[in-house]
Amino acid sequence: MNIVCLDLEGVLVPEIWVGLAEITGVDAFRATTRDIPDYDELMTMRLAEMDRQGFGLPDIEKVVARLEPLEGARVFLDGLRARYQVVILSDTFYEFARPLMAQLGWPTLFCHTLQVEQGGRIGGYTIRLPDHKRRTVAALRDLNFRTVAAGDSYNDTGMLAEADAGIFFRPPESIAAEFPHFPVTRDYDALRQAVDTAFDLR
């Protein structure tokens, strides 16, 4: 059985925190794992900035409500799901992702949860599992799945390395250069072909 593991933000949907930056004008929210590879450091910065700005979960929900999947993402995902099992592995949060999952046809999503206080303040977050992307791929391989993983950033490289084949999708040039053993794709047709080729060669 073949299974594809995809990152969410930057692969199928826009970066949610970048959307928050564009709407609020707070540039600190533009940072992603492309800029700060350590996820705990990144989230600590984000939540501290939210407190400084007086923002809570309702502000994030307003951003997500205005977002749509990347152009062509739904067609790509539907085509992929017709041929393979697909799991989305993301460092986003279920509280953010629900509207986007509806637009993508409710694919399977493994991600994290927020600790939301009365009034909507985000007091913290609960990681589903440390290094969950890589460990999920490893568990799937232990279940005798053949795996292909695709992502765009530092926090995806563990799962790309763990999979039978790892593929970059629209990574920054600096990250692609740092991990030259992962092939780079720039559009959904190329990514689909790379997934098919990876499975056909095994």
Q: How does pLDDT run across 37-74, given as a tens digit for each residue?
A: 888 898 999 999 999 999 999 988 888 888 999 999 99
Angle, alpha carbons 131-134-135 (nearest 5°): 75
Q: Which of 7, 152, 156, 162 is catalytic?
A: 7
CA atoms within 13 A on the CB side of 20: 24
Pair (36, 80) in one structural domain = no
Pair (89, 148) in one structural domain = yes
Pair (173, 84) in one structural domain = yes
Identify whether the C-beta of residue 95 lies closer than 8 Å to the C-beta of residue 57.
yes
> What CATH number does the domain containing 159 carry?
3.40.50.1000
Pair (181, 112) in one structural domain = yes
Low-confidence stretches of the chain (pLDDT < 50) are 202
Q: What residues pair up with 151 in beta bridges, in sequence order?
A: 168
Q: How does pLDDT run across 189-199, given as a tens digit for each residue?
A: 999 999 999 99
- How far apart, in whole angstroms, are the C-alpha atoms of residue 195 and residue 147? 10
Pair (95, 46) in one structural domain = no
> What CATH number does the domain containing 21 carry?
3.90.1470.10
The tally of domains found in the chain comes to: 2
Residue 162 is which amino acid?
A: E
- How far apart, in whole angstroms, are the C-alpha atoms of residue 95 and residue 8? 14
Predicted confidence at residue 201, as pLDDT, reads: 52
Pair (55, 119) in one structural domain = no
Would the pTM count as exceeding 0.75?
Answer: yes
- Which of 5, 2, 3, 1 lies closest to 160 in space, CA to CA? 5
- Which of 123, 97, 121 lies closest to 111 in space, CA to CA? 97
Predicted confidence at residue 202, as pLDDT, reads: 46
Pair (57, 81) in one structural domain = no
Q: Which of 9, 49, 91, 152 is catalytic?
A: 9
Query: Which residue range forms the structural domain that includes residue 152?
Result: 2-12+70-200
User: Is 9 labeled as catalytic in the residue annotation?
Assistant: yes
User: Is 68 labeled as catalytic in the residue annotation?
Assistant: no
Q: Which two tokens stand for residue 73?
A: 């993402």
Antiparallel, parallel or unpaired: β 146-151 and 122-126: unpaired
